[in-house]
Amino acid sequence: MADPARPDTNKRLSAEPGLPVTGVLYNPRSHRNRGNEPRELDYPVIRVEQPQRRRDLKAAMQRFVDSGVELLVINGGDGTVRDALTGGNMVFGDDWPALAVLPRGKTNALTIDLDMPRSWSLEEAILAHRDGRKLKRRPLVLEPMGETDDPLVRLGFILGAGAFVAAIDSGQGAHRLGAFEGLAVGATATWGFLQMLFGSDRNPWKRGAPMDVKLGPDLEPLPHSRHGEPSRRSALFASTLQRFPAGLDPFSELPGPIRVFAVDRFLRRFAFQLPPILKGWRPDWMAEAGLHRASTDRIDLDLGDGFILDGERFDPGRYCVTPGPELTFVVP
């Protein structure tokens, strides 16, 4: 895991005072980690875990706790971050160590939000624990409601349903063509734009999915316009992040902690206006056209189709979404 082009860094780590006990969660399947093996640093207080299955995550996180880890470095993409937070939630509770993320995945939305360099190294993350900045972020907590075959409580930063599922499928196609991160987001957005213009009502970008969305402690229904079926929406997007890939800004001034953007039905007549809206334009006709924005501390979802959490599809069902623990991320 050490950078062989910087041989003096290990010596510096050994000589530096005040550095943290460090744990590394390493995902060898992440895009930029494939074909590489983590290397032990010449640094006496480091533990590397490579869980091969998700069910091994809790045990790996418990070993970090038992080792007295003060800095947890997540080496992977958004999916690795989601799995690390989900596993860590079982053992850390509200007492998390500081976190650092090495962006090694196909998509790295969290590190874009944190404004972290793409080439950040493990050595730099360890030094940043002492010398760098600290930023606070709260993930989403998705708790299944009612009877379910999958009772696991998951933590992540970006949730999407409806056309978002089709967008992830298109994004995988962009990855296969060699487009990643912001370029993949741009390619996917362009493809979705074309689907809105020329797709039929059966097109997955347009037909949407059955979903019931209620907000806040009083479970107020998210408004629905006259466009489309009242029980369906073309797209739902929710997140606690502040900045997004490709310069997207669907939430702008909304305060949070959870912010929501929903589309009742993609209409051809505003296809050319949706891109600037996703970049921050706020026309006064948005709600009438079926484009809704909201800020809340709770979402109750009843989803009749699958949904995406940090890049991976999960089963339909009923979920309660709330803000998670306040996490401290170290950045340069």
Q: Is 147 a member of any domain?
A: no
In a shared domain, residues 202 and 122: no
Residues with Cβ within 8 Å of 284's Cβ and at least 6 positions away in sequence, in order, are none
In a shared domain, residues 187 and 110: no
Count of domains in the chain? Answer: 2
The three-class DSSP label of residue 60 is helix
In a shared domain, residues 186 and 108: no
**Residue 197: predicted pLDDT:** 52
Whose CA is closest to 213, among 309, 296, 312, 314?
296
CATH of residue 132: 3.40.50.10330
In a shared domain, residues 303 and 210: yes
Can you tell me the distance from the alpha carbon of 179 to that of 232, in angstroms, rounded to the nearest whole number?
31
In a shared domain, residues 164 and 204: yes
**Residue 230: predicted pLDDT:** 93
How many CB atoms neighbour CB 282 within 10 A? 11
**pLDDT tens, position by position, 202-228:** 666 667 799 999 999 999 999 999 998
> Which phi and psi (to 5°) does residue 95 adopt?
-115, 70
Q: Is 130 a member of any domain?
A: yes
In a shared domain, residues 305 and 166: yes
How many CB atoms neighbour CB 58 within 10 A? 16
Checking if the pLDDT of 257 tops 80, the result is yes
**Residue 182: predicted pLDDT:** 44
**Residue 46: predicted pLDDT:** 81
Confidence of residue 4 (pLDDT cuts 50, 70, 90): very low
**pLDDT tens, position by position, 6-57:** 334 444 566 577 889 999 998 765 544 444 555 555 565 688 898 888 889 9
Q: Give strand ranges (E) for 172-326.
A: 209-215, 220-221, 232-233, 235-239, 258-263, 291-296, 299-303, 307-309, 312-314, 317-323
Confidence of residue 274 (pLDDT cuts 50, 70, 90): confident
In a shared domain, residues 188 and 269: yes
Q: Is 2 a member of any domain?
A: no
**Residue 99: predicted pLDDT:** 98
Q: Is 325 a member of any domain?
A: no
Can you tell me the distance from the alpha carbon of 266 to that of 286, in angstroms, rounded to the nearest whole number?
12
In a shared domain, residues 79 and 127: yes
Can you tell me the distance from the alpha carbon of 91 to that of 73, in angstroms, rounded to the nearest whole number?
16
Q: Is 329 a member of any domain?
A: no
Checking if the pLDDT of 69 tops 90, the result is yes
Q: Is 265 a member of any domain?
A: yes
**Which structural domain range is residue 176 located in?**
158-309
How many CB atoms neighbour CB 51 within 10 A? 18
Q: Is 316 a member of any domain?
A: no
Buried-state track 177-190, b at ≥16 Cβ within 10 A, e below 16 = eebbbbebbbbbbe
In a shared domain, residues 206 and 97: no
Which pairing describes strands 291-296 and 209-215: parallel, antiparallel, or unpaired? unpaired
Can you tell me the distance from the alpha carbon of 83 to that of 250, in angstroms, rounded to the nearest whole number?
25
| pTM for the model | 0.83
Checking if the pLDDT of 79 tops 60, the result is yes
In a shared domain, residues 183 and 237: yes
Q: Which two tokens stand for residue 175?
A: 């990855």
CATH of residue 210: 2.60.200
**Residue 244: predicted pLDDT:** 87
In a shared domain, residues 96 and 219: no
Percent of the chain at pLDDT exceeding 90: 50
Q: Is 315 a member of any domain?
A: no
- Of 128 and 118, the structure prediction assigns the larger pLDDT to 128
Please name every residue paired with 46 in a beta bridge, in sequence order, or none if there are none. 22
In a shared domain, residues 295 and 168: yes
